[in-house]
Chains A and B, each alone.
Chain A
Amino acid sequence: MNNEKDCPCQCDGKTTIAAAVTPPVESPGRRRLLAWGTVILGGVAASAAGVPILGFLLAPLANKANSWIAAGKISDFEVGKTHKVEFVNPLADANDGETAKTIMYVRRNEGDTFNIFAVNCTHLGCPVSWFANAGLFMCPCHGGVYYEDGSVAAGPPPRELFQYPHKIENETLMVEVGHLPTLQQPA
């Protein structure tokens, strides 16, 4: 900054050049302050805009708790049979349309115990179908097959069918549902 060429100001190059070029005595500190001030100001601006954006994008990571829903009266379920039950996901809202609906399989065993199976194959999440005569759940994607108790009968599934927690209140079967069951976060 000490030759004429680099002079940033619109000076005539003679009278004011000394003033423009010769830095004021206190300048190094002032400059550093300004430089850091700019960086800090930029950081504040970036976080002011960035925090809400990141928050928005990462909000889905916050776990919404599953909810209990009624699957039906106990008397609706015949002993020894597996029933396909439609339900509306309690986490869903109006814009979800038809996708708010899901199904589960309710099996009532002897002695009034229940197994509530998620529809999703444990291999890669495709919907299993129940074949009552054969007593098998079959998956249409990669050939996974499960027995009526949910254990793996054939194909690639790494574990038995996901089961939703359930309880019986006032003769009603309550089931805890919500998130999509996957291997590390089963139903």
Chain B
Amino acid sequence: MSIIKSIIGWIDNRMQLSDSVVSVARHPIPAEVAQKKGWWYVFGSVTMTFFMLQVVTGICLAMVYEPTADAAYSSLQTLNYQTPFGWLIRAIHYYAATGMVVMIVVHMTQVFLMGAYKYPREVTWFFGVGLLGLTLALAFSGQVLRFDSSSYWGVGVLASAAGRAPAVGPEVVHTVLGGQYIGESTVGRFFAVHVFILPALLVTLLAGHLYMVIKRGISEPPKPEQPVDPATYDEQYEELLKKGVPFFPHAIYRDGIACAIAVIVVVALAVIFGPKGPDAFPDPTIIGADPRPDWYFLPMFALAALCPPSLEFAFIIVAPVIAIGVLLAVPFLSGSGERSASRRPVAVMFVTVTYIVFAVLGWYGATSPWSPQMDAWSGDPVPVEMVKHSSPLELQGAVTFQLQACRNCHALDGVGGKRGPDLTYVGSRKNRPELIRQVVQGGGYMPAYGQQLSAAEIDALVAFLAARRPAGEPEAKLPVAPPIKGDSIKGRAP
């Protein structure tokens, strides 16, 4: 015993640990945090745990992964099928990345709603905003390293979006790609960024973040009617800490439990669902690709499709800059005052609206109803029930309907593209002249087919469409035009 004690004593004497590490570990925190409310304070630790898991699994992956356009895909296959536990490490890396994005957002939401970013912890928040940006950058660059068809075109989308930067578009594109096109140096660049640059920056900001947490202390759980006043807050907090408890071991065990559960959940997901991809081979000549970003970027993906062309520059280039600016401005806009969410309706509304917007955009991004369903014209036959008892002309129209790839945008009986309206009952909505006009001229997101179709084909197609009505329902009638002075022509039924 005494030997061990003397060894510890020697180490402590030389390294002065009781002054530094021990005193930091036992720094006092508000007593309430060591009670039930302490569960609100575990999200940051969980995020950090996921990051450490990412570092370790990432190092494992780097031992096998080959960061070249030529070999990346096959090295992913090697990891999946040959390297012992390779598939599991890949899966853990993917689900821990997902977990990191989720938990940093949850952590940020909690900090925002509990007003923990207010005086004197503004700088802690700034570091946090930087950590959010780095986490998302890691998520995107990691997705690129899963170098499959989606990843190849994903880089193309990033490059095209970056290419809209005013004046320096091409330079930005070439810097991102590491050259003039997507290839060898693109993968190499993303590898260096993902594996060296971003983690190093993240560790740096994390150190700053933790320094602030220790130096300025963790915020006490907010209470209504106890606003933060910079003039008196420090004194009050000091009083609070006098009745405080040491962080270790009173509060840390909650973090420990939360982190343990989080890791178990991630490993369980990884075991159950396995690694993500790689999907199709990254061969640019296989253009049947259906590029979709990983779920965290689906809202951005949806935004790119849904915003009007005139606002695209604003949404693609300006909006992200504004979003970061708003997050950084938060402590300046409301750096003092009430902390409790029950006294901050605007803050609660802000969070609610943001979450709803992201959820809706994410849902749209996942289903992407604006995209033509590229194989519907050949893959989804016209339902048999629909063409029973059809006239030869209508049958010919059904053939035209499929061959012209109308089905890629229009569903029949719910099957097919969702870009345009479902045409199952279009015959009871539009009359023949309207159908002809729409087919020939297009309009409202529909291409004009006038050049492409012969008069006979249009005739057949419209016959098929006009017959698309619920049983027993008549064709849509031509609305009777109001009489024009001196003109005796009235609406004619077709």
Contact = CB atoms under 8 A, between A and B. Distances in A.
Interface stretch (A4-12, A18-26, A59-67, A70-78): A59-67
Contacts of B184: 92-93, 95-97, 99
Chain B binding surface, main DSSP class: loop
B370 A142 contact: yes
A158 interface: yes
Interface string B47-84: 00000000000000000000011110000000000000
A182 B160 contact: yes
Contact of B309 (A60, A61, A133, A158): A158
Contacts of B301: 141
Nearest to A147: B447
Which of A93, A98, A101, A147 gathers most chain B CB within 10 Å?
A: A98
B287 A91 contact: no
Nearest to B447: A153
A131 B409 CA distance: 13
Interface in A19-51: none
B160 A101 contact: no
A2 to B, nearest CB: 32
B161 interface: yes
Interface in A91-129: 91-103, 119-120, 123-129
A131 B404 CA distance: 8
A165 to B, nearest CB: 16
A125 B157 contact: yes
Nearest to A95: B184
Nearest to A142: B305
A172 interface: no
Interface string A128-146: 1101011110111111010
Given A140-B374, A156-B305, A182 B287 contact: no
B375 to A, nearest CB: 10
B183 interface: yes
Contacts of A142: 304-305, 370-371
Interface in B269-306: 281-285, 287-291, 301, 304-305
B371 A97 contact: no
B370 A180 contact: no
Nearest to A185: B170
Nearest to A180: B181
A128 B372 CA distance: 11
B257 to A, nearest CB: 43
Contacts of A129: 287-288, 374
Given A103-B287, A124-B304, A140-B371, A131 B447 contact: no
Interface string B432-451: 00000000001001111101
Contact of B159 (A119, A123, A125, A147): A125
B312 interface: yes
B408 interface: yes
Given A96-B183, A126-B291, 10 more contacts: A92-B183, A119-B284, A128-B287, A134-B447, A135-B451, A140-B372, A141-B157, A153-B447, A158-B312, A179-B180
Interface of B: 68-71, 152-153, 156-157, 159-161, 163-164, 169-171, 173-175, 177-185, 281-285, 287-291, 301, 304-305, 309, 312, 370-372, 374, 377, 403-406, 408, 419, 442, 445-449, 451-452
Interface of A: 58, 60-61, 63-64, 86, 89, 91-103, 119-120, 123-129, 131, 133-136, 138-143, 145, 147, 153-156, 158, 178-180, 182-185
20 contacts: A60-B177, A60-B185, A92-B183, A96-B184, A97-B70, A97-B71, A127-B153, A134-B403, A135-B452, A136-B452, A140-B374, A141-B371, A143-B445, A147-B451, A153-B448, A154-B442, A182-B159, A183-B163, A183-B169, A185-B163
- 5 tightest CB-CB pairs across the interface, nearest first? A97-B70, A182-B163, A153-B447, A125-B160, A184-B169
